[in-house]
Chain A
Amino acid sequence: MSLTAKDKAFVKAFWGKISGQADAIGQEALGRMLIVYPQTKIYFSGWTDFSLDSPQVKKHGKTVMSAITDAVGKMDDLIGGMSSLSDLHATKFRIDPVNFKILSHNILVTLAVHFPTDFTAEVHVAVDKFLAAVSAALADKYR
């Protein structure tokens, strides 16, 4: 389900609105995921604090969301643009790709909570497709 020109336009416009809060959104999305889908904690076995305002969640949420924001500028070639991140996830982290879908869902929930009027159905479908494309690019080198 490839990104149309309309999808890319919706994603860019919406990201323009949310970019100031990107770090906080990343933190909350990650925090929600760890609480609502506790099995995802296995990837962070060294962490001591999985709460929403944990410094570990805050830092990692920012890392992940920054990479996603970066990907907004690479929508014309996500697989190429995310190649090194894909290598990292394939060889070092080896996160089962089903978890990309889970995190994506929690990003959508966080967006709905904080931007109820801007996160319209049309924005929703564009962002959902974008996150799916990012996830596919991230899993591209897995096998």
Chain B
Amino acid sequence: MVEWTDFERATIQDVFSKINYDVVGPQALARCLIVYPWTQRYFGNFGNLYNAAAIMGNPMVAAHGKTVLGGLDRAVKNMDDIKGTYAELSVLHSEKLHVDPDNFRLLADCLTIVVAAQMGAGFTPAVQAAFQKFIAVAVSALGRQYH
């Protein structure tokens, strides 16, 4: 089981209460598709992903970005059993969606950048450390059921 300090618990609740899921989700996913274009392989039916502007304005990307943040929210609310919370999601990503788990790391990096931009100076090194630890646990849980 993951050990969380009081500071880490408080920081994760605080960060996720401050960010707007409807903005951060879409921005993080769009950034991932732009910065790591091979991730577009999973979104063949999303229509126009031809350039950065098209990706940023694509409504299906935006909708899916919100879905992803909704999924993260479940981990925020169940920090003591993220592995269990994500068991079904992990199976889904492995067996149905066939997503290379390294892509979770790429999306996590983009999410970190977007949250850093949103929070500015409030994204101190200590907050960054707690945030990245939480995201790493979520990423690990999402890859757990792959075989």
Contact indicator per residue, chain A 29-47, by CB within 8 Å of chain B (1) or not (0): 0011001100000000000
Q: Is A116 an interface residue (CB 8 A)?
A: yes
CA distance A128 to B37 in the complex (A): 13
Taking CB atoms, residues of chain B closer than 8 Å to A119 are 113, 117
Which of A31, A52, A109, A122 is the one whose CB lies under 8 Å from B113?
Answer: A109
30 contacts between A and B (CB under 8 A): A31-B125, A32-B125, A32-B128, A35-B125, A35-B128, A36-B125, A36-B129, A105-B109, A108-B113, A109-B123, A112-B113, A112-B114, A112-B116, A112-B117, A113-B116, A113-B119, A113-B120, A113-B121, A116-B117, A116-B120, A121-B31, A121-B35, A121-B52, A121-B55, A121-B56, A122-B34, A124-B35, A124-B113, A125-B34, A128-B35
Taking CB atoms, residues of chain B closer than 8 Å to A35 are 125-126, 128-129
Q: How far is the CB of A19 from chain B (nearest CB, A)?
A: 20
Contact-size category for B = 20 to 34
Taking CB atoms, residues of chain B closer than 8 Å to A121 are 30-31, 34-35, 52, 55-56
Interface size on A, residues (CB 8 A): 19
CA distance A128 to B109 in the complex (A): 12
Query: In the complex, are the beta carbons of B35 and A125 less than 8 A apart?
Result: yes
CA distance A69 to B123 in the complex (A): 25
* Contact A109:B35 (CB < 8 A) given known A35-B129, A36-B125: no
Q: How far is the CB of A120 from chain B (nearest CB, A)?
A: 8
Contact indicator per residue, chain B 118-147, by CB within 8 Å of chain A (1) or not (0): 111101011011001000000000000000
A-B pairs under 8 A by CB, number: 52
Query: In the complex, are the beta carbons of A109 and B116 less than 8 A apart?
Result: yes
Interface residues of B (CB under 8 A from A): 30-31, 34-35, 52, 55-56, 109, 112-114, 116-121, 123, 125-126, 128-129, 132
Query: In the complex, are the beta carbons of B128 and A36 less than 8 A apart?
Result: yes
CA distance A52 to B129 in the complex (A): 14
CA distance A18 to B123 in the complex (A): 19
Other than A109-B128, A112-B116, A124-B31, give 16 A-B pairs with Cβ distance below 8 A: A31-B125, A32-B128, A35-B126, A35-B129, A36-B125, A109-B112, A112-B113, A113-B116, A113-B117, A116-B117, A116-B120, A119-B113, A121-B31, A122-B34, A124-B34, A124-B35
